[in-house]
Amino acid sequence: MSRSNRTDHIRLTSHPVPGAKHAFPIHWDAPDARSRGPIIGTVSRPQDRNVIGSHGGSYAVYRALAVSAGALNPLRRPDLTNTFPAATIGPFPQWSEPNRIVALDPWGHLVAETFRTEITEGADIRPSIAVTRARLDLPEIQAAIAAKRLKPDGNVVHANGSVSVVKIAIDPVWYLPGVAERFGTSETNLRRTLFEQTAGMFPELVTRPDMQVFLPPIGGTTVYLFGDVAKLPDHRTTITCRVHDECNGSDVFGSDICTCRPYLIHGIEECARGAQAGGLGLIVYNRKEGRALGEVTKFLVYNARKRQEDGDAAAAYFERTECVAGVQDARFQQLMPDVIHWLGLRRIDRFLSMSDMKYDALTGQGIEIVERVPIPDELIPADAHVEIAAKKAAGYYSPEAPTAQDLDDTVGRSLEKY
């Protein structure tokens, strides 16, 4: 069953069939989904493919395991009945403005409706975005209500302390010419580097210049929206926003070496408050663990920081990362503003982040930021003062910059004291 579409030999898709035309051409900045064309990363109907890579981001590897184990029929198509978005997002002018969005498919949540006919006829077209609704129940929000910082209103914040949100999952879809431009390099160089650094995982990057879209095997983005989504297109709506990069240790487990979870929850509280005041709150959560260097690198850096001669000093914070990883940061904030464009926004009124990299990326992409809101001092965990002092010294937004003395005086816990 699971071998039913296999021939005896492996067919490489690394070169186009001479003279063949794409059945589904992609016109990236087209004004509507049909003229843009569907993104097809199917592995069961190779003749329909118009992108490099396959669906599901990093989970494509687990799909392969499921097929290998005989648990999943590779020909099976998703049944998309009733999966359509639980809130209306767009379309917005930004979706077809040249090079405004290059790292996601703005039409990715609408494919089941837009390409119903093609799907019925057997094309394997899958959504890369899903929009649903949820309630968040967080101990810190309960505490904010108990402390009377936040009042239940029965709409955004409920009597039991839960918070209503629209949540949106977004898989990366890269338009390679646009991605190359964001990084100030040529498409050829970007393709070649992606090919080489994945040890040749996607030969089409270098052999198929006719395919300009890549589904990279990386994590995606989740958006949590607070308030009335119908207000997105109204430019008078006050937007509260935190852009947060994944930190499993703090976000989920409460590890106290950094400010991630406290800042994230502060963001959620501010978003809920903004929505209660008639605005919209927005948490953008990007899967970029450990500055996109991964958790193994991150934990190695923690050890290197804690074991250096003068202890875990703020003054040497970035240096230790660079010693282990070769770079201080690999989060490519250049692509991050796409989700803000996708939501049709041109202004963020309250930006709950101190990161100069995020600020520069957003404003560089034409998004106005009215106010920057630092993390309140009382929310900084015991061992996280090293991180925050080092970041402020490196240019993170802060009402007052730390002095050289502050940096020298800020030293974290040693490995023996855990």
Q: With contacts defined by CB under 5 A, name the span among 141-149, 161-169, 256-264, 374-382 that binds Zn ion.
A: 256-264
What minimum distance in Å lies between the beta carbon of 290 and Zn ion? 8
Name which of 63 and 413 has its Cβ closer to Zn ion. Answer: 413
CB of 161 vs Zn ion, minimal distance in Å: 25
Closest distance of CB 355 from Zn ion, Å: 12
250 counts as binding Zn ion under rule CB under 5 A = yes
Q: By rule CB under 5 A, what string of x and - marks binding of each residue 198-237 to Zn ion?
A: ----------------------------------------
Which candidate in 100, 208, 242, 331 is catalytic?
A: 331
Please tell me whether residue 389 binds Zn ion under the rule CB under 5 A. Answer: no
Smaller CB distance to Zn ion: residue 263 or 351? Answer: 263
Of the ranges 84-92, 183-191, 255-263, 408-416, which one interacts with Zn ion (CB under 5 A)? 255-263
Closest to 211 (Cα-Cα) out of 46, 408, 57: 46
What part of residues 306-345 is at the interface with Zn ion (CB under 5 A)?
Answer: none
Q: How many residues form the binding site for Zn ion (CB under 5 A)?
A: 4
Give whole-number Cα distances, 142 to 24, 120, 204, 258, 401, in Å. 50, 47, 51, 22, 33
Please give the C-alpha separations between residue 365 and each of 224, 316, 344, 361, in angstroms, as whole numbers: 22, 32, 13, 6
Taking the least distance from each CB to Zn ion, the nearer of 157 and 260 is 260
Q: Which amino acid is at 254?
A: G
Using CB under 5 A as the binding rule, the residues of this chain from 41 to 100 that contact Zn ion are: none
- Cβ 170 to Zn ion, closest distance in Å? 22
The residue range among 1-9, 172-180, 260-268, 315-323 that interacts with Zn ion, by the rule CB under 5 A, is 260-268
Binds Zn ion (CB under 5 A): choice among 141, 173, 241, 247:
247
Which of residues 247 and 386 has its CB atom nearest to Zn ion in the complex?
A: 247
As measured in angstroms, the least distance from the Cβ of 24 to Zn ion is: 41
Instruction: Answer yes or no whether residue 165 interacts with Zn ion by CB under 5 A.
Output: no
Burial class (CB in 10 A: 0-12, 13-18, 19+), 326: exposed
**Exposed / middle / buried, residue 145 (Cβ in 10 Å: 0-12, 13-18, 19+):** middle
Q: How far is the CB of 263 from Zn ion (least distance, A)?
A: 9
Q: Among residues 105, 245, 256, 329, which one is catalytic?
A: 329
> Per rule CB under 5 A, is residue 260 in the interface with Zn ion?
yes
Characterize the bridge pairing of strands 52-53 and 213-215: parallel
- 329 annotated active-site: yes
Nearer to Zn ion, 256 or 338 (CB): 256
Establish if 375 lies at the interface with Zn ion (CB under 5 A).
no
Q: Which of 165, 190, 258, 352 binds Zn ion (CB under 5 A)?
A: 258
What does the longest C-alpha to C-alpha distance in the chain come to? 69
Does the active-site annotation cover 137? Answer: no
CB of 252 to Zn ion, least distance (A): 11
Which of the ranges 173-181, 204-212, 252-260, 399-407 carries the binding residues for Zn ion, by CB under 5 A?
Answer: 252-260
Catalogue the active-site residues. 329, 331
Chain residues binding Zn ion by CB under 5 A are 247, 250, 258, 260
